Amino acid sequence: MTKEIIENDPYKSAGVDIDAGNKLVELIKTDVSSTLNDKVLGNIGGFAGMIELGNEFNEPVLVACTDGVGTKVSLAQEYGQLEGIGQDLVAMCVNDLVVCGARPLFFLDYYAASKLNVNEAAKVIKSIAGACLDSDCALLGGETAEMPGHYVGDNFDLAGFSVGCVEKKQILKKENVTKGNVLIGIESSGPHSNGFSLIRKVISESKKPFEEKNMIALEALKPTILYPRLIASITQNHNINAISHITGGGLTENLPRSIPDNLSIEIDTTSWEIPSLFNWLQSEGDISIDNMYRIFNCGIGMVLIVDVADEEVIRNEISQMNFKCYKIGEVKERSDNKEIIFS
């Protein structure tokens, strides 16, 4: 009776393979379990994940973020480079968390496909687990869904959700920023997970040789840098007034979010060398420099806003942790309604 039901599974005939989902759970158990710490209650396979805060916070404030990888997934599938996509997903969430001073506690993923490719999904989730370990947070749970007829062909999509915690009195607020503060820009690994609809268009329409376009695609697919450990170390040892994570909207739209309305930011565009990938995209896509700064991070993935007196020691510590960083600008009084000036 059981065998007959399995062999004539009506759900499978509709495009959903329950057995494939169960196989995936078995494949990822070890990776997921490796991220769990002593604050996690229960094991993989339950209906919900549970974690306790413990006694390390006096006035704990929970911070939550959600994000996806966007059409970087499509480029990764096209070039067979799925190993870093999971890190992208985690990074886009936990890098947002640390901007307010929070430490990531846990992460959950949502993987949706037209048809579940177990080996492909296992690569992605292994990457997610590795990024959670590197961000000192637990992969507390997730969801995998097959949606034939909704997603087309072999495509899939990813979403991530992360929760962190910060001591109330240690929340980083833009009100801390004052005239004369300086901006320390920390390197990105590339476009991270933003601007890929344009990146894919430029690559596909380029008349350059395949080898050159392939090199550019692989460079663009480098996984997003995970900043939580770096930011945790810096905020523990030094006074930081505010932080800006440079995501969609580039430098132009993200930096003003981290300063009071009466101030502006002046960026010295000669203070760092824009990576060659961005120069290629600008030239090949005929993109103005204003749009480059508005769409891409242009080599700067995270920005710290600090007092002048603290700049040198903070930059030294960032360098000691093997990140490149630059003094990229200064906070000034707003005089002409411009939030940001590139000079």
Residue 38 or 204, more confident? 204
Average of per-residue pLDDT across 192-220: 96
Domains for the chain: give ranges and CATH numbers. 2-170 (3.30.1330.10), 174-342 (3.90.650.10)
Q: What is the pLDDT of residue 121?
A: 85
If pLDDT is split at 50, 70 and 90, which confidence band does 4 have?
very low
Dump pLDDT digits (tens) for 59-87. 999 999 999 999 999 999 999 999 999 99
Q: How many CB atoms lie within 10 A of CB 94?
A: 31
Q: Nearest 5°: phi and psi at 41?
A: -110, 130
What is the residue-averaged pLDDT of the chain?
89
Task: Tell me the C-alpha distance between 94 and 132, whole Å.
Answer: 9
Question: SS3 for 228?
Answer: helix
Question: SS3 for 192?
Answer: coil
Task: Tell me the C-alpha distance between 26 and 41, whole Å.
Answer: 20
Cβ 167 vs Cβ 53: under 8 Å: no
If pLDDT is split at 50, 70 and 90, which confidence band does 5 have?
very low
Residue 222 has, within 13 A of its CA and on its CB side, a CA count of: 13
**Region of poorest pLDDT, from 187-196, 198-207, 255-264, 332-341:** 332-341
pLDDT reading at 1 higher than 60: no
Q: What is the pLDDT of residue 45?
A: 56
pLDDT reading at 229 higher than 50: yes
Q: What is the pLDDT of residue 86?
A: 95
Question: SS3 for 244?
Answer: strand
Q: Which residue has the tokens 């990531």?
A: 104
